[in-house]
Amino acid sequence: MKKQLSLLGSTGSIGTQCLDVVLQAGYEIVCLAAYSNAKLLEAQARRFHPSLVALVDETAAKDLKVRLADTDIHVLSGMDGVCACAAYEKADTVLNSVVGMAGLAPTLAAIEAKKTLALANKETLVAGGALVTRLAKENGVTILPVDSEHSAIFQCLQGMHDKTELKSILLTASGGPFFGKSKEALATVTLAQALKHPNWSMGAKITVDSATMMNKGLELIEAVWLFDVTPEQIQILVHRESIVHSAVEFSDNAVIAQLGVPDMRVPIQYALTYPARIPSPVKRLSLSELGTLHFCLPDEETFRCLPLCRKAIARGGLAPCIANGANEMANALFREGKIGFLQIADLVEGALENVPSQQIYTRQDVFDADKAARDYVLAQQR
């Protein structure tokens, strides 16, 4: 039977690339959900004929309802609508590519409905890792990583017989557009410069996270939860070419890496076809054309978000949730031109030091800590 897919975040970068993969692989789309882009969601709905669609924004959802009035597609609104798509009975797989902490509620809804979860939303594992992984275990749900590095690690781990065989993870980072820059130079960088990622085409939030290297810090925490390793087992490796998407080191010191041209359609497709592989329209890798690949350690004194994330996961409990919430708000303020680039790390650090955390937490605690971290960042602006 064809895979029945519910796609959350369908109008974003991952969402549109996922639909590209779906066209190739011939899956059935049963739900599409997004934030507010009614025009694009209408076009996608007409192309893929889902049963159910949802937009978070109420006004946009009303607009979408009018646009789809001549079809039998059911239109929902709000976060409840997105969660209904995540738990939709006809879906067997949910791909969650919602941006940020907003992805947590649909992630939990998908897990509770026992869907296979293809996860592109790293913030949900960062903010509520203990909760999400425990619920997934209880419900027998498999979480398949879509993040390129984590997909690479997951691919490298296929065939591992016992968890004790895994010694370390080499998590690669492009270094972003500001690789090699000094702190002084970073003080005056603009949004336009931050949005010029050397290798990957992504949404604005993650591209700014990539420039601060917060993205790699979030990915470190994501890897801790996905692969059940300690933060000390993960080494960040700057690799400018983004050809090696990550590697794992085994107990016999053998290192296995996954390589390919930087194109998100490979990790998206693997999450959907796992454990099988099928042909892809993605360009083939030519190592002879490349000739050389480079690796070095990150500059953690300049890119402070990275060690701050290490500190947060070492503290545990809600500390990663607070770091993530502060970063989401600071990232948005930087994109609005309200703060400078270096202030993002200052605000993440300030939130980690000042927002109360706790070790054991419930779902509500995660939402409360996220809000407290955002409020802390906003209060620093007044």
User: Which residues form the interface with Mg ion (CB under 5 A)?
Assistant: 147-149
Task: Give min distance, CB of 148 to Mg ion, in A.
Answer: 5
Question: C-alpha 376: how far from its chain's center?
Answer: 24
Q: Which is nearer to Mg ion, 137 or 196 (CB)?
A: 196
Closest to Mg ion by CB, 15 vs 81, is 15
Q: Which is nearer to Mg ion, 77 or 258 (CB)?
A: 258
**CB 268 to Mg ion: min, Å:** 12
* Residues whose CB is less than 8 angstroms from the CB of residue 299 and which lie 6 or more positions away in sequence, other chains included: none
Measured from the CB atom, is 54 or 119 closer to Mg ion?
Answer: 119
Q: How far is the CB of 201 from Mg ion (least distance, A)?
A: 13
10 vs 94: CA distance, rounded Å: 11
Q: DSSP secondary structure string, 177-211?
A: TTTT--HHHHTT--HHHHT--SS----HHHHHHHH
- Report, in Å, the least distance between residue 57 CB and Mg ion: 27
Question: Do 381 and 346 form a contact (C-beta atoms < 8 A)?
Answer: no
Q: How far, rounded to the nearest angstrom, does the alpha carbon of residue 145 sit from its chain's CA centroid? A: 9
Contact residues for 236 (Cβ-Cβ < 8 A; gap 6+): 171, 172, 173, 216, 220, 297, 298, 306
In the complex, least distance from residue 152 CB atom to Mg ion, rounded to whole angstroms:
9
Comparison of 88 and 154: residue with beta carbon closer to Mg ion = 154
Instruction: Give the 3-state secondary structure of residue 217.
Output: helix
Residue closer to Mg ion, measured from CB, 67 or 310: 310
Shortest Cβ 230–Mg ion spacing (Å): 20
Nearest partner of 133 among 122, 125, 144, judged by Cα:
125
> Closest CB to Mg ion belongs to which residue?
147
Query: Residues for the chain: how many in total?
Result: 382
Closer to Mg ion by Cβ: residue 14 or 319: 14
Rounded to a whole number of angstroms, the minimum distance from the CB of residue 332 to Mg ion is 20
Closer by beta carbon to Mg ion, 147 or else 249: 147
Q: At what angle do helices 204-212 and 343-354 cross, to 10 degrees?
A: 90
Residues linked to residue 258 through DSSP beta bridges, in sequence order: 246
**Helix ranges (DSSP H) in the chain:** 13-25, 38-48, 58-67, 78-86, 104-112, 122-138, 148-156, 183-186, 191-194, 204-212, 214-227, 265-273, 287-290, 305-315, 319-335, 343-354, 363-379
d(CA 158, CA 153): 9
Q: Shortest gap between Cβ of 210 and Mg ion (angstroms)?
A: 8
